[in-house]
Structure 1
Amino acid sequence: MTSDVPFRPLPVELVDVRYELGPDSRRRPDVPAGETVEVSLTDSAVYPGTTRTVWIHVPAAYDPAHPAGLLVFQDGWWYLDPDGDVRGGIVLDNLVHVGAIPPTIGVFVDPGVLQDRPDPAARKNRNTEYDAADDRYVTFLLTEVIPEVRRRYAVTDDPARWGIVGGSSGGNCAFTAAWHRPDRFRRVFGFLSSFAQMPGGNPYPAALATEPGKPLRVFLQAGHRDLGWDRPERNWLAENLRVAAALAEAGYDFRFVLGDGGHNPNHAGVLLPDALRWAWRDAAPSGPTADPPSDPLSDPGTDPTTDGAHR
């Protein structure tokens, strides 16, 4: 199906750009707000000494007789905040309500904090958790976070209905979690991922080229003026391009959107609704209440653009 893209002039300056949120990222008067439950985790077996907050957001259409899908967000409140750049809970409420995606519970996980450290900067465990290439973080999710969700709500065992989202270091964290446990997470969303700062370097271009294919569907976004965009090393833009190229060469089901702007979650928030539509395009229920796609990225037959079509 052909889709017409409205004309938008390209900005001359690539850094000072903000994308406008679409209707799926705004509270609608006809869509009932979901329930958000806050959970405090006061210790961890995987990351001893850490505490954190987790928010579980359940759209109003959830029916315990029909187990829901699961979508885990890193940097929890930043992605849940109804007045923030991403507004993940509002997006889930809107898309589930109109049948654009199957009923899906959002799990918004804050990074761990080491409360016993006297230096406030040393209390943050975010980079330890998110930038590592091993399976510790996904093990933490599966053994410590998701059991808290399943104690309260019915969640499907179908890994095709489990997704994981992150931006910056949370983006490579999401990819790493699904890479190690594709038996659980098969939908991956990485925004401005910090592959460039993973200890030991970005492992995924080589791994994608040499390891057997995994049953993943991957959505990536990068920015023309992300960190280090014109440097030979620690170049966020270049490392995202390398991962996208490796996914293409390995034949993965993936989408890649290159936008303008710097290292901030604004473009991620604009893209999230259509990224979710694309990821669950073959699982979404149909019905007379389903809204039409908000723009061409919603159509799985339309290639993502790099010319500012979502401006």
Structure 2
Amino acid sequence: MEEQKNTYENVTLEPDVGFDIRFVTMDHNSPFHWHREMEILYILNGHATVHMEGEEYELNPLDAVVMDYARIHEVIYALPQTMGICIHVSRQLLRRYLPEAEPFAIRCAGQRLRPGQQEYYNEICGYLKELTVLYVNQNETYRLKSTARILELLACLVEHFSEPVSMVATQTRAGKMERLEQICMYVDHHYREEMTLQEAADELGLNREYFCRFFKQSTGSSFMRYVNQVRLNYIYQDLLHTDDPVQEIMERHGFFNQKLFYRMFKERYHCTPRQARRMAENNPYVEAK
């Protein structure tokens, strides 16, 4: 099975289009990661939990949330069946229409609306519903109509959900993302090994205390918890897509503490590994083994 990249997710968008729409399901869980693109998630059925920079968002059917450019987040799709659409929008698309705009951040989630935003949030959900229908039908005018809806959606986000950001803050964030990307790439390459906090800090040339503080402030998670979440994600994928024994899958992906594994798995997926495997059997949202 082809490995899934967990941390920094590089989404390839067609330059002349600037956005991408796809279905996401319970088969798409991943630990903390980020994009150079804006991500918009709209839940169609089931339930999803989004953790984003220290805050938690619970999404039910027809709920939406925006993960702005380079905002660190994870999404956990509930078992047994959850489906949504995920839209990625490039910075270049916004710059094409707002070349003179000052730096800004987008903050939009149904659970965190400010007074006066409900009407515009409903408008955004309306565009997402239309985009879902267009994506499913994909007729000859799909590209034209979906582009129109994306631009209307972006205009609504910029007008009613944007906040000014200073140039200094923007530059500081870019530097933080570069360092965090180095850390997460290190984890992706070494998560199968018995990794220690000191080894990771030494590898990146950072003081251990600074390393811990920086990672916690950036992601809302401790470093070792993040490492175990990466392991859990690979284990989860193998549980759904192979018939290998649970113990073998655990050890393959660097998890040797069985008690901790079962506790973290149940905390994350609200079921045991064997229950997750049973729920995946004959599930239309999971590829056949």
TM-score w.r.t. length of structure 2:
0.27
More helix as a share of residues = 2
Pair member with larger Rg:
2
TM-score w.r.t. length of structure 1:
0.26
